[in-house]
Amino acid sequence: MKKISIGLLGLGTVGSGVVTILTNHQDKLMHQVGCPIELKKVVVQDLHKERSVEVDQSLLTKNVDEVINDPEIDVVIEVMGGVEETRKYILAALRNKKHVVTANKDLMALYGSELLLEASENGCDLFYEASVAGGIPILRSLVDGLASDRITKMMGIVNGTTNFILTKMSKDKRAYEDVLAEAQHLGYAESDPTADVEGLDAARKMTILATLGFSMNIDLQDVRTQGITTITEEDLDYSKRLGYTMKLIGIAHRDGEKVEVSVQPTLLSENHPLAAVNDEYNAVYVCGEAVGETMFYGPGAGGLPTATAVMSDLVGVMKNMRLGVNGLSAVSPQYEKKLKLDSERYSKYFLRIHVQDQVGAFAKITTIFSEHGVSFEKILQLPLNKSNVAEIVIVTHRASLKDYEEILGQLESLEVVKQVKSSYRVEGDEMQ
């Protein structure tokens, strides 16, 4: 091969990082793949915008067709974002026999199966390492490094924005709104942070992880999702007092043939490796039947870390081109999707409730738990400044989600319960 020509869709933070690595690491890339890499065209929205990287003006275009339909372009790198329109571009590129590298988690979570099938049918590679956890090579590790193992559980901090917010709220005792504003100022959070703080971004990433880790077609709607917007200073204080750290955790768990996938605020035991992952960093904790416990840690976002994952995929495409095996690496899911019922999803739970401070109130509460066979592991009971109101904090032993939700419903209607203040999953006391 004399050279490889690249078409780049998008020149934002990640796109600029790709250009930087292509420019500064050309000797390393040539050593890896045996030929030069040429950036032939870059699609942008504004041709005259001032940018952090220097790109020859003749390479810029607003017309995507100049990349998709250029017969000399071998690989399309997509870092422009978006879903529906971007899907059409990638499908067109694959049908034109162009290999594709993308960092687009939203696209892959929704249309990954369709796009991978299209790539395979056209003898093309479609790689997407950068779509989950930025610079952490977690997807490649699942597909290649742990290919012979059977993954039983993946727990991940896969959204840097929410981890930054919860770290600052917990360590500095700052209000949610204050930390969110700082995260937006630093560029960790978008002006509309909904996708991050409501758990949607993490849910898309867990969809991708679960599909690969369990070799099963998991859809976004299969992921039970809850965000961080209702977490209070009191919740964080009680977490610490009980020996836990609050994190937004994505969990994918397999028991036999059945799986569960969720994203939710979770109290992690302070001795769990994920509990020490702070600020904007990401980590994915993976358990396999053979390998046991492993953890992948690193920057979950940012131009150069994410661009590093993009370029790693590009090198993979180019090595496949030299070997003539493009389009052959994708493996169809091995197993039929089987989701756990709520009666099969087990966890410990943290519960904080306000009750009437009167004789017999606690007995009525414990009766509801005992009727469902759920016992207590930890209990705190404190009087509040309000007259005749006490606060009870409970950590349960393992209970099914079905039983626990029934308990919550009965507590809400119990006369002595003034309010169920908060409820969260608890993980990490027994790592598995």
Distance in angstroms (rounded) separating the CA atoms of residues 247 and 245 = 6
- SS3 string of 235-287? HHHHHHHCCEEEEEEEEEEEECCEEEEEEEEEEEECCCHHHHCCCCEEEEEEE
CB 124 within 8 A of CB 326: yes
Query: Which residues touch 151 (CB under 8 Å, ≥6 apart)?
Result: 142, 213, 214, 254, 286, 287, 288
Distance in angstroms (rounded) separating the CA atoms of residues 178 and 349 = 28
CA-derived radius of gyration, the chain:
24
Give the phi and the psi of residue 56 in degrees, each rounded to 5: -55, 125
CB 168 within 8 A of CB 278: no
User: Which of 41, 205, 348, 418 is an active site residue?
Assistant: 205
Residues β-bridged to residue 380: 393
CA angle 80-82-88, nearest 5°? 95
Q: Which of 80, 94, 4, 85 is nearest to 42 (CA)?
A: 80
Catalytic site residue 421? no
Instruction: Report the half-sphere exposure of 330 (CA within 13 A, side-chain side).
Output: 23
Residues β-bridged to residue 267: 246, 426
Residues that are catalytic:
205
